[in-house]
Amino acid sequence: MLSASVRIDKWLWAARFFKTRSLATDAVDNGKVRLNGARTKPAHSVKPGDLLVIHNGTTEWEVGVLALAEVRGSADIARTLYAETEPSIARRANDAEQHKLYREPGTTIKGRPTKRDRRALERSSS
């Protein structure tokens, strides 16, 4: 289960930042994951002490790698694989508070808005 280094896409999946390994691979390919401040490839190895910036769609995490895992375990085990930095914790808490206070009108709409959605958007913007 543990080794000297693990592929970054496997580690992101095992640490439960992404639901599937293919989603983790796509995120690394598209530059949504940075290893020590630089873009990387899915096959690149990650080791304890590395700093990752992960943007998984809704939130941005800045984490330090503490341990390695190649297989996905429980959420309790996944939390022991990384430590989130203090600025990242503060930023996510601030974003959550802002989201609670004000929701963007279009965030609940998936794809093209229906007539009903469009009318709701017009009501909220005027």
Q: Is the pLDDT of residue 72 over 90?
A: yes
Contact 81, 67 (CB under 8 A): yes
* Chain segment 52-69, per-residue pLDDT in tens: 999 987 789 999 999 999
Give the residue from 29, 95, 30 showing the smallest Cα distance to 62: 95
The two most distant CA atoms of the chain are separated, in Å, by 57
Q: Is this structure's pTM higher than 0.85? A: no
State the pairing for strand pair 60-65/51-55.
antiparallel
* Chain segment 81-122, per-residue pLDDT in tens: 999 999 999 999 998 888 788 776 666 667 788 898 888 888
